[in-house]
Structure 1
Amino acid sequence: MHLLTLIFGFVLLPKAHTLTCYECVPGHSGTCQNKAIECPLSGQQCGALRLTSYAGGSKLAEVNSKSCALAPECVEASINFGISKTVINSKCCNSDFCNDQPAPVPSKSIANGKKCFQCKGKDCTATLNCEGTEDHCISTKVTAGGESITMKGCASKLVCAPEATAMSKTFGAELSCCQGNYCNSASSTSAGLLLLVAPLVSLVVLS
């Protein structure tokens, strides 16, 4: 009898500790429909994510998604190249279908005292004041049309995680991060097409 109880306990335990959440994967139009899913892992929460890209201070694009998420995935982060910035804002909760609303709109970021180099045209000696959770300096290099494009700026720790760095190489990009003011060297490079970073970050975050 005790053995039977133990077996049923192992079979039913994962079910007892998983949530049922909304999943919403955006299509080509950027919109999506909620559908119910059971989280596959114990400890996952219901999550909603909003990814917003800005160019020249104006909102360029916004993508919302929902799914099951682990606690480390419930974060606020951004990658900032001065005239181009992408903000990741996610919200998680611990009850069935609690992610019925989109993730909140990111709050206005304020300078945090960290300073990194950014590129303006061919000159990469300009100062960029990092904002919000941006605690790393970043340097990226993308090859497009046979030309190597370098971008420098500020980034949050999440963007500099080993997983994100490895993923960026899949898309033909090199990404390096460092801590310390102006640690992302001020060498001059070719002019950067800064908006390339928006789809790159989208692929890294939503994959």
Structure 2
Amino acid sequence: MHVAVMVTSVCVVVACALKCYECTPDLSGSCTQTTKECPSNTQCRSARLTSYAGSTKAEVKMKSCAAAEECVQASVNFGVTETLLTSKCCTSDLCNSQDAPEGLSSPNGKKCFQCDGNGCTKTLNCNGNQDHCISTTMSAGGQKVTLKGCASKLICSGMQSAQFAAITGAEISCCQGNLCNGASSTTVGLLLFVTPLISLVLFC
């Protein structure tokens, strides 16, 4: 009894480290689960990144220690491609044994313009937490490439936009309101190229 009280008191004073499962996927998407003693003021996290490109689905799962601000849900949808990130965090030893749930991809009533081979006048139904319209423009092969679609608030935050710009050289603009991202015609391409880049941004 006294020993238990002493241990508890010591843990309160020195903030006993939290132990979490850690699993960082390799290039093939697989990983070996280990345990890790986490830094103070962190939690255990399970995360799942799911990307859709037409009928193709790719999924990556990971586990780690994480700061509270990394326990997020985010998604971006360009119509032909959609990427969803879900996270589940907890605060007891090895509590992240379960995988994070799959992201919601059901329509939420909001609409944004998307681009296809004929321009950017097609409308797209936004899903889940996608409450912003997004436009991204980058240079590729000497020409401007523009993508439009739906995105969650996190994707449009200053930090994520800055990371995306640093990695891809792309410009990002977001707005709120149905079809607020304009329908101007433009050169379109590289839809499948963008998905892994957004995946990288989400895990930074």
Structure 2, gaps ≥5 residues long: 1-8
SS of 1:159's equivalent in the other structure is coil
Structure 1, gaps ≥5 residues long: 1-8
> Would the alpha carbon gap of residues 145 and 60 (structure 1) be closer, same or farther in structure 2, given more than 3 Å must change?
farther
Q: Which residue of 1 aligns with 2:163?
A: 167
Count of residues in correspondence between the two structures: 195
Return the letter of the residue paired with 1:85. Answer: E
Q: Distance in 2 between matches of 1:97 and 1:11?
A: 17
Q: Which residue of 1 aligns with 2:6?
A: none
Alpha-carbon offset, residue 105 of structure 1: 2.5
Q: Distance in 2 between matches of 1:41 and 1:166?
A: 28
Q: Distance in 2 between matches of 1:159 and 1:80?
A: 11
Moved segments of 4+, more than 6 Å: 9-12
Percent of aligned positions that are identical: 57
1:73-152 equivalent positions in 2, closer than 5 A: 73-107=70-104, 109-152=105-148
Return the letter of the residue paired with 2:74. Answer: A
Q: Which residue of 2 aligns with 1:32?
A: 31
- Given the alignment of the two structures, is residue 206 of structure 1 paired with residue 167 of structure 2, yes or no? no
Alpha-carbon offset, residue 185 of structure 1: 1.1
| Cα root mean square deviation, aligned | 2.0
Q: Distance in 2 between matches of 1:165 and 1:24?
A: 27
Alpha-carbon offset, residue 70 of structure 1: 2.7
> Would the alpha carbon gap of residues 25 and 162 (structure 1) be closer, same or farther in structure 2, given more than 3 Å must change?
same
Alpha-carbon offset, residue 145 of structure 1: 2.8
Q: Which residue of 1 aligns with 2:151?
A: 155
Give me the TM-score of the superposition, normalised by structure 1: 0.86
Give me the TM-score of the superposition, normalised by structure 2: 0.87
- Given the alignment of the two structures, is residue 66 of structure 1 paired with residue 63 of structure 2, yes or no? yes
